[in-house]
Structure 1
Amino acid sequence: MEIYQSEEQQVEAIKKFFKENGYSLGAGLVIGLGGFFGYNYYQDSKQAAIESASSQYQQNIEAMTNDGETFRTNSQSFINENKDSSYAAFTALALAKDAASHSDWQEAEKQLTMAIELAPSVEVKAIAQLRLARVQIQQENLDDALATLGKTFPEKYQASVAETKGDAYLLKGDKEQARSAYQAAADAGGLESSPQLQMKLDDLAVAVNLAG
Structure 2
Amino acid sequence: MEIYQTEEQQVEAIKGYWEKNGNMIIAGIALGFAGFIGFNFYKDGQLEDELATSDSYQALMEESTKDKAAFTENASKFISENSATSYASLTALALAKEAVEQKDWQGAQTQLLVAVDKAPSDGIKGIASVRLARVQIQQEQFDEALATLSKPIPESFTAAVEEIKGDIYLLQNKTELALNAYQVAIASDGLATSPNLQMKVDDLATTVNLTTTVPVAK
TM-score of the aligned structures, taking structure 1 as reference length: 0.79
> Which amino acid is the alignment partner of residue 115 of structure 1?
A
* Aligned residue in 1 for 2:158: 158
Structure 2 stretches lacking a partner, 5+ long: 1-33, 212-218
Specify the SS of the correspondent of 2:84: coil
SS in 2 for 1:181: helix
**In the alignment, residue 102 of structure 1 is paired with which amino acid?**
Q
RMSD: 2.1
How far 1:210 sits from its partner (Å)? 8.9
Deviation per CA, 1:52-75: give whole Å up to 9, x if none: 111111111112122111000000
CA distance in 1, matches of 2:118, 2:163: 26
Structure 2 residue aligned with 1:115: 115
Structure 1, unmatched stretches of 5+, are 1-33
Q: Distance in 2 between matches of 1:198 and 1:127?
A: 23
Correspondence for 1:12: none
Match of 1:141 in 2: 141
CA pair 119-56 structure 1, distance change in 2 beyond 3 A: same
Which digits, 9 at most, give the CA deviation of each residue in 1:30-56, with x for residues without a partner?
xxxx95434433332222222211111
Higher relative contact order (CA 8 A, sep 6+): 1
4+ residue runs of structure 1 moved beyond 4 angstroms? none
Aligned-pair distance for 1:128? 0.9
Cα pair distance change 1:210/1:179, threshold 3 Å: closer
Aligned to 2:5: none
Aligned-partner Cα distance in 2 for 1:193–1:37? 52
2:182 maps to 182
What one-letter code is carried by the residue in structure 2 that aligns with 1:131? R
In the alignment, which residue of structure 2 is the partner of 1:17? none
Alignment size in residue pairs = 180
| Alignment match, 1:202 | 202
1:50 pairs with 2:14: no
Deviation at 1:161, TM superposition (A): 0.8
Equivalence for 1:20: none
TM-fit CA distance, 1:181 = 0.5
Question: How far apart, CA to CA, are the structure 1 residues paired with 2:203 and 2:41?
Answer: 61
Q: What percentage of residue pairs aligned between the two structures are identical?
A: 51
What TM-score, normalized by structure 2, do the two folds share?
Answer: 0.77
Larger Rg computed on CA atoms: 2
After superposition, give the CA deviation of every residue in 1:120-178 in whole Å (9 maximum; x if it has no partner): 11211111111100000111111110111111111111111111111111111111111
**Cα distance in 1 between the residues matched to 2:126 and 2:210:** 37
Letter aligned with residue 174 of structure 1: K
